Amino acid sequence: MKVITCEIAWHNKEPVYSLDFQYGAAGRIHRLASAGVDTAVRIWKVEKGPDGKAIVEFLSNLARHTKAVNVVRFSPNGEILASGGDDAVILLWKVNDNKEPEQVAFQDEDEAQLNKENWTVVKTLRGHLEDVYDICWATDGNLMASASVDNTAIMWDVSKGQKIFIFNEHKSYVQGVTWDPLGQYVATLSCDRILRVYSTQKKRVAFNVSKMLSGVGAEGEARSYRMFHDDSMKSFFRRLSFTPDGSLLLTPAGCVESGENVMNTTYVFSRKNLKRPIAHLPCPAKATLAVRCCPVYFELRPVAEAGVLSDQGGEGREPGVELVSLPYRLVFAVASEDSVLLYDTQQLFPFGYVSNIHYHTLSDISWSSDGAFLAISSTDGYCSFVTFEKDELGIPLKEKPVLSVRTPDTAKKTKSQTPSGSSPGPRPGEGTPTGRVQDPSSPSATPPQVKQSPAPPAAKDTPAATPGSRVSPAGPPKEKPLQPSGQNAKAQPSRRVTLNTLQAWSKPTPRRINLIPLKTDSPPSSISTPITSSPSTEEIQLVSEMPADPQVSPPELKRPRFGEHGEGPQ
């Protein structure tokens, strides 16, 4: 591992706010885009010299923004470059194959003559009201998300150049955004000290993360602390990131309270539970501001060399929480205000540390497509490169693992088609009480012999009411069948009431109670009418509640603030 700070006036010695390597480009060229206060976006070629250090060559100057540019991000296939700045617009750039350079009003003739490549704006995305701070592409390159000072994040359709949805739940600047590689989530981080994870299908908040329990106070009350820094943090950016396989979400700008001391940290969330971190990565000196993952998948190190980030546990692991066990090893870098720490998914302590390379706050980091370079930008106007020799980070996998992407069509099919008549296994502990969000794929989603009928109006406002789960009325269960008996004057048709308790779900046949509506002038002998004598019977299903669960009773008051995937309200 070698580090070099190139003596280049990247943006006329003005602060550099962002940089990004191009992925998926044909050939072995490493293109790097940079952006800064001078309103320009510049393209560079990065190569490794004989001594193993980076050699940088200027390619093109992209002049169209009217104010400082805060972020640049290449699309996954490398064909389009997105840039966002203080002028509240997002520009989409593409290489112009024409030999004649395009005449740009913002660009000097001297700069145009120096350009070795010609880039033109193919689309302009307008929707934000204030500065654009961060951009992230979806895996397919058709969608994009952006974060802004106007307290919103916007989901874009890149091909149409139109807004799909505006997320406006944040109360302050949104300083970071990342798109789940599996396409299910968009996560944002704001200086309102809240991490919000949005569902891309439902277009609403799936998880809110802001506080962590710190123990029990003197009076027995549970104490909690804020997990993220407030707006006193020096950096403009909080660039969070999913790992390339989507298994982990890494969030900077974290803080952990230990007594009167506050420790800077980066939180690690598992995809299985995005409500509570499974680990945190301390950074004692300064607050962390950016996390970027190396796109290369590596083979696992031997168990004797591996650290803590596995199912075997260790320091920093939350008790009773299983960490992600991966069949491969991922590497990621965490940038703080003055240093960069290198981690992998097999240990909780860093395997590399870079510091004292810049005089001012760092602003962004980016990996090359082959993992040979890690670029670092700073507000002092310079950029540095960390270069790695072949197999220095590990042995790359021969083939990348195939990610299972959940499409919206699959989700709709799961909700609309619920298996009926199948008897669930004897798992009473997993029975879903009324009014609770239930996973449609759960084997206990449908009780035996249940005839599906529309849910009552009380469950209409529940965000994630699932098929197969019934919400019982607020009144006593046994009084419900007697209420409509006055409406039916005939004594011959009888009513069949099926009471399915949570314990009875594991039994082959539920209990049945015969309730026969009575006339005022009907003889007492009509009570003994057998229930099988009536050919047309009406089935009324009442799924009883857990009487001792305060979170479930009464069901119509149980309205979770935000929907969650496959999980009940907590």
Least trusted range by pLDDT, from 156-170, 177-191, 219-233, 377-391: 219-233
Predicted local distance difference test score (pLDDT) of residue 77: 93
Q: C-alpha 80: how far from its chain's center?
A: 24
Q: 3-class SS at 484? A: helix
C-alpha 411/C-alpha 391 separation (Å) is 40
Domain end among 329, 352, 387: 387
Q: DSSP string covering 500-567, please?
A: E-TGGGGSSS-EEEEE----TT--GGGGG--GGG-SS-EEEEEE---TT-TTTSSGGG---SS--SS-
76 lies in the same domain as 207 = yes
Residue 412 lies in a domain: no
Predicted local distance difference test score (pLDDT) of residue 6: 92
Specify the DSSP element, H or E, that contains 411.
helix 408-416
Residue 562 lies in a domain: no
Note the pLDDT tens digit of each residue in 272-317.
999 999 999 999 889 999 999 999 999 998 865 444 444 433 344 3
Domain end among 387, 413, 448: 387
219: pLDDT confidence band, cut at 50, 70 and 90? low
Encoded tokens for 252: 């900077």
Note the pLDDT tens digit of each residue in 121-147.
999 999 999 999 999 999 999 999 999
Checking if the pLDDT of 240 tops 60, the result is yes
Specify the DSSP element, H or E, that contains 166.
strand 162-167
Note the pLDDT tens digit of each residue in 511-560.
454 555 554 444 444 333 343 334 443 333 333 334 444 443 443 433 33
C-alpha 472/C-alpha 465 separation (Å) is 13
C-alpha 63/C-alpha 495 separation (Å) is 77
CA angle, residues 383, 22, 157, in degrees to nearest 5 = 120
364 lies in the same domain as 441 = no
Residues 368-378 have a mean pLDDT of: 96
Predicted local distance difference test score (pLDDT) of residue 214: 74
Residue 236 lies in a domain: yes
Residue 462 lies in a domain: yes
Share of the chain above pLDDT 70, in %: 62
CA–CA distances in Å: residue 182 to residues 139, 369, 410: 8, 19, 13
174-179 and 339-344: which strand pairing? unpaired
191, 194, 199, 203 alpha-carbon torsion, rounded to 10°: -60
255 lies in the same domain as 183 = yes
C-alpha 191/C-alpha 97 separation (Å) is 42
515 lies in the same domain as 373 = no
- Mean of all residue pLDDT scores within the chain: 75
Predicted local distance difference test score (pLDDT) of residue 298: 96
CA–CA distances in Å: residue 467 to residues 169, 366, 558: 29, 44, 17
Residues 390-399 have a mean pLDDT of: 93
Sheet strands (E) in 180-326: 185-190, 195-199, 204-209, 211-216, 222-226, 241-242, 248-258, 261-270, 279-282, 288-293
For residues 90 and 124, the answer to whether their CB atoms sit within 8 Å is yes
Q: Which domain holds residue 132?
A: 2-387
In sign, the C-alpha dihedral spanning 346, 348, 349, 353 is positive
Residue 565 lies in a domain: no
C-alpha 437/C-alpha 552 separation (Å) is 11
Residue 564 lies in a domain: no
Which residue in the block uniquely carries the two structure tokens 């060559």? 57
Residue 568 lies in a domain: no
CA angle, residues 330, 334, 340, in degrees to nearest 5 = 120
495-500 and 538-543: which strand pairing? parallel
Neighbour count for residue 238 (Cβ, 10 Å): 30
68 lies in the same domain as 199 = yes
Predicted local distance difference test score (pLDDT) of residue 515: 53
68 lies in the same domain as 167 = yes
C-alpha 343/C-alpha 431 separation (Å) is 40
371 lies in the same domain as 471 = no
Count of CA atoms in the C-beta half-sphere (13 A) of 253: 30
Predicted local distance difference test score (pLDDT) of residue 221: 66
Note the pLDDT tens digit of each residue in 97-122.
775 555 544 455 555 568 999 999 99
The domain total for the chain is 2
Domain end among 332, 355, 387: 387
